[in-house]
Structure formats: C-alpha cells, structure tokens
C-alpha cells in the first residue's frame, strides 16, 4: 500500500473548487441566463472565461462555468434568483484587484461581474455624499467630487483600478486610513441583493440607522452575504495643505518604537507608513522618489489641514522622531515633492515585480510597538526558508504587507513561499494581532483562520452566513474554514518552521 501523500497548503485551500458543472445543467443555466442578459453579456467559451480565472492572487486559478455581466440592478436580481433555484454557486467580482483569492471562481459556478454597473447616481455636495454603483473606481469618486472641494478618503494602492464594490467587500484601507478610517468608516448606506433575489438596504444617510448595525456586518464580508448594487459614500473636504516627513532610522526596532510614540503623544498623522531598506531600494529604482537608501527603515509621516495646523503638527512629529533615534528628517517643500515621496509607497507592489520573477504579498496586523520585532523575525524566516522578503507597512495601524520573493518556475519555491507566509500570519496572532488587515481572507488565509479563531467562533461566523444566505451559495468555501478543514490543517500545522515538508530549508 502506498503511503498517504501529504497535502500542500494550496491543495487544502483549493479542495472545494474543482468540481465541474454537469453539461446538461450548464446548458440549462446558460439558456435561463440568456433570458436575462443579451448574448454579449454572457460568457461561456474557454477563451472568454480565461480572464476571470483568478484575481490578484494569481497562484490559484480556476475557470468558472459561466461569467455574466449585468448592466442593471434588475438583472442582478434575476441572475441570483436563477442561480438560487438551480443550486449554482455565485462569486461576485469587481475589478479583480483583490489579493486574497476572494474572487477565485468555482469550476461549477457563475462569476457575477459587476464591472458594468459603473454609474454615478448622484453627488450631494451639501450633504457631502455620493451615491454610486459598485463598478465605479475608487479614484473616480474623488475625481468627480473634486469640483466641489471634496474627496473620498480611503485610498488603497490599487485605487486607480479597484472598484468601490470590491472595497466594500474587503473593507479596504489605504495609506490615509489612520486618520480617516477604513471603508467601513466612510460608507453610509448599501443597497444589496441577497442570494434569493431579495433587495435589502443597510445603513442610512442620516446620522444613525435603526436596529442592528448590519451595514458593518456586510462591509468586509467578502461577497459571502449579499451583492452590493448601490453604495452611498461619505465625502470630506480636501485639506488646504499637506506635507510629509521622510524619517530615516538606522535600526528597524527604533522605527517601530517611533511609530508607537507618535500615536502615544496624541498625534494622529494623516498617513504613517514604513518601508524596510530592501523595499526602499526596490521602489527607488522604480520611481526615483529620493529615498534614503542607507537607512534600515524609512517612515513617511504626513500632516494635513490648514497651514497653521500643518506647521504645528510637523514640528511636534519631528520632535518625537528625533527623540526616538531618527538619523535624518526631510520635509516635503512642495506638493510635487510630497507626491513623489508617496509615489514609492504607492508603487511598492509593482516595484517588487521588477526585482523578482514572482512575489507573494501577505497581509496581517500586529500591535504598533511590535513592528521592529516583527521585521527582525521576518529576516530570520528569510534565512530559514531561503527566500527574500520586502516589507512595507501601514505602520499607524500595524497593518503589514510582507512581499515574499520567489520564482514559480523553480520546483517547490511557491510552496515554500506559502509556508513562509503562513508562519508570518501565525506570528501576527502570537503578537496579539490578526491574520488580515485589509486584503481579506478569501482562499489565501482560510487555513490561517484556524489559528486565529476557536471552533465556537467559527460556528458563530457560519450562523451569520446562514442568516443572509441559508443555501450557502454566495462565494462558498471562502473566508470561514469548516471544522473538518481546520482538523486537516492541524495535521500539517505551521508553527515556527516546525513543518513536515522535505523541501523546506533548515538552519
């Protein structure tokens, strides 16, 4: 008898996604959907389906049975009703920029693309709100609000491409989330469709909404509860002035302590980001932002407001940074220079793509005071796994984005990158943090949820899921691990490098 083959992490993640739809059922589904949308909005051939096989987490690919592209809310209602009646899984998809596999299709399911629901319904400068459809790009909201002196604050690095519907699904953040909040703090109301085709409205454009705060449950639910079709966002006045400090440190732990001290002193910067030396070098080659390449870590600390407020806050931040060992401080003296300082941070991911064949972007959170310690721990993991790692953090809220470098053409390297990432996430939990900050769980971190949450907590999560989607057809198999999955993961549990895989380098 052959010895049982050990599962890789990716195989365990992907176990529920590969069952095809029966040909007769697929034909019947296509006929039914063809009564709802024109033929051009229904994709069925392999060539047409290929672009939808993954999101930004390209390591996991799966062709769906059908892709449908509605242009009206009424079509979304009918599509969901048909799929519910025929017991077909549905994965809602925005711009496909997600990094956790949340939009990875089911082979036996439908991808519901909301890209063509991209209209601005209204902008109310007096109420400082905008009502938009889910396919509207994040950056387009600020562009449309600019004539009124307003903008939409959450600014993920993919804001020129990502859609507001995807931001709602993942509760996206950005470099200015410390002061202005995540998506959940900037959404007032969502109109959505349940799997059964029922229209619901959560939240309110008033100061508060009656009943339970179900809007906060929907935001960040990764498309598992309902499909958003109309979103009301909060707009805020554009500040008169913004300036950013680039602070250099000769030690990563000093930079982490500086972050904690800034917040402890009562300063809430508009943006507070950290990059390690290798990350700074990669982005400097890409955008020429003027970064200090001798520094072990760089902090970008932004102040915005009136000129008087900015001058006072910049002075206070400089005092704290110097007291915590900053070796050099540069303050932007023009809007052009400020944007150039930020351009490196905003282009961290494409910069990584220039220095390695592939990279695996992780996402977790830790207490701010642990940032330096975590960087040192990741450096130790680099040696053990035999892979490089570039580090960039939303330092203000402890949200880290290690970019693990590997070459997918080399046997075993992607697997090692997975193990490296899983150990980083376990360290986040150990430090009192979480396995995700803004990228969501999706497929990527579903096994790590077994480390974060108890069986009782996971059962409670499924109870919420059943409350919205009793049939379990909206994005099934994502975000919440089953008890059996966690039992299987426990057999191959990553714990400080104590793994059962022969291809893992050892010290």
In order along its 507 residues, the chain shows pLDDT tens digits of 333 334 456 666 666 677 889 999 999 999 999 999 999 999 999 999 999 999 998 888 899 999 999 999 999 999 999 999 999 999 999 999 999 999 999 999 999 999 999 999 999 999 999 999 999 999 999 999 999 999 999 999 899 999 999 999 999 999 999 999 999 999 999 999 999 999 999 999 987 888 899 999 999 999 999 999 999 999 999 999 999 999 999 999 999 999 999 999 999 999 999 999 999 999 999 999 999 999 999 999 999 999 999 999 999 999 999 999 999 999 999 999 999 999 988 899 889 989 999 999 999 999 988 998 999 999 999 999 999 999 999 999 899 999 999 999 999 999 899 999 999 999 999 999 999 989 999 999 999 999 999 999 999 999 999 999 999 999 999 999 988 888 888 776 555 444 434 444 332
In the sheet with 199-203, reading across from the earlier edge strand, the strands are 120-124, 129-132, 227-234, 187-193, 199-203
CA 455 to chain centre: 25
CATH 3.30.70.2190 residue ranges for the chain: 241-350
* Cα angle, residue 285 at apex, residues 439 and 371 outer, rounded to 5°: 45
Task: Classify domain 356-491 at the CATH topology level.
Answer: Alpha-Beta Plaits (3.30.70)
Which residue intervals of the chain bear CATH 3.30.465.10?
Answer: 120-237
Range(s) within the chain of domains with CATH label 3.30.70.2740:
356-491
Q: Is 383 exposed, middle or buried (0-12, 13-18, 19+ CB in 10 A)?
A: exposed
Backbone phi and psi for residue 20, each to the nearest 5 degrees, phi listed first: -75, 165
Q: How far apart are CA 361 and CA 130, in angstroms?
A: 32
Instruction: State in words which class domain 9-113 has.
Output: alpha beta
Alpha helices (H) along 356-401: 371-385
Is 0.85 topped by the overall pTM?
A: yes
Residues 6+ apart with CB under 8 A from 272: 178, 259, 262, 299, 300, 301, 302, 394, 395, 396
pLDDT at position 66 is 98
Return the H-helix or E-strand segment holding 230. strand 227-234
Rounded CA gap, 108 and 22, in Å?
8
What pLDDT is attached to residue 4?
35
Return the ∠ at Cα 275 (arms to 273 and 279), rounded to 5°. Answer: 145
- At 483 the pLDDT is 82
120-237: CATH number: 3.30.465.10
Q: Do the beta carbons of residue 277 and residue 248 sit within 8 Å?
A: no
Look at the chain and count its residues: 507
DSSP state of 480: S
Neighbours of 196 (CB within 10 A): 16
The residues of the chain that CATH labels 3.30.43.10 are 9-113
Cα angle 296-300-302, degrees, rounded to a multiple of 5: 165
pLDDT value of residue 203:
96
Domain 241-350 has CATH 3.10.310.40: no
């Amino acid at each position: 008898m052959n010895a049982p083959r050990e599962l890789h992490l990716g195989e365990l993640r992907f176990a529920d996604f590969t069952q095809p739809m029966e040909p007769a059922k697929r034909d019947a589904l296509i006929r039914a959907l063809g009564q709802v949308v024109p033929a051009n909005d229904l994709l069925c051939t392999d060539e047409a389906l290929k672009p939808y096989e993954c999101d930004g987490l390209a390591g996991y690919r799966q062709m769906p049975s059908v892709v449908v592209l509605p242009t009206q809310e009424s079509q979304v209602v009918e599509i969901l009703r048909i799929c519910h009646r025929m017991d077909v899984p549905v994965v809602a998809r925005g711009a496909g920029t997600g990094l956790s596999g949340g939009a990875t299709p089911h082979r036996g399911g439908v991808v519901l693309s909301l890209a063509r629901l991209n209209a601005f319904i209204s902008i109310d400068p007096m109420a400082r709100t905008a009502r938009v459809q889910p396919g509207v790009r994040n950056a387009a909201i600020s562009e449309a609000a600019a004539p009124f002196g307003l903008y939409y604050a959450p600014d993920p690095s993919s804001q020129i491409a990502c859609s507001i519907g995807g931001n709602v699904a993942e509760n996206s953040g950005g470099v200015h989330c410390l002061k202005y909040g995540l998506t959940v703090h900037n959404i007032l109301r969502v109109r959505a469709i349940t799997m059964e085709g029922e229209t619901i409205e959560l939240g309110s454009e008033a100061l508060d909404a009656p009943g339970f705060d179900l809007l906060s449950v929907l935001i960040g639910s990764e498309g598992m509860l309902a499909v958003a079709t109309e979103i009301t966002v909060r707009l805020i006045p554009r500040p008169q002035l913004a300036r950013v400090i680039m602070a250099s440190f000769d030690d990563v732990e000093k930079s982490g302590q500086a972050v904690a001290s800034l917040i402890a002193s009562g300063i809430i910067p508009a943006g507070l980001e950290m990059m390690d030396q290798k990350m700074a070098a990669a982005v400097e080659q890409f955008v020429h932002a003027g970064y200090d390449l001798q520094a072990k870590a760089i902090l970008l600390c932004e102040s915005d407001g009136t000129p008087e407020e900015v001058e006072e806050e910049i002075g206070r931040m400089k005092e704290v940074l110097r007291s915590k060992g900053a070796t050099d401080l540069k303050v932007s003296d023009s809007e052009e220079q400020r944007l150039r300082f930020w351009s490196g941070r905003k282009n961290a991911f494409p910069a990584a793509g220039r220095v390695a064949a592939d990279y695996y972007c992780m996402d977790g959170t830790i207490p701010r005071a642990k940032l330096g310690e975590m960087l040192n721990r990741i450096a130790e993991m680099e040696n053990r796994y035999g892979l490089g790692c570039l580090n960039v953090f939303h330092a203000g809220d402890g949200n880290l984005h290690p970019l693990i470098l590997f070459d997918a053409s080399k046997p075993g390297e992607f697997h090692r990158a997975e193990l490296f990432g899983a150990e980083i996430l376990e360290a986040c939990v150990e430090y009192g943090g979480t396995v995700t900050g803004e990228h969501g769980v999706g497929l990527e971190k579903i096994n790590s949820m077994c480390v974060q949450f108890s069986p009782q907590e996971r059962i409670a999560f499924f109870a919420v899921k059943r409350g919205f989607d009793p049939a379990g057809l909206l994005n099934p198999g994502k975000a919440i691990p089953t008890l059996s999955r966690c039992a299987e993961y426990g057999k191959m549990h990553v714990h400080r490098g104590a793994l059962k895989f022969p291809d893992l380098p050892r010290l």
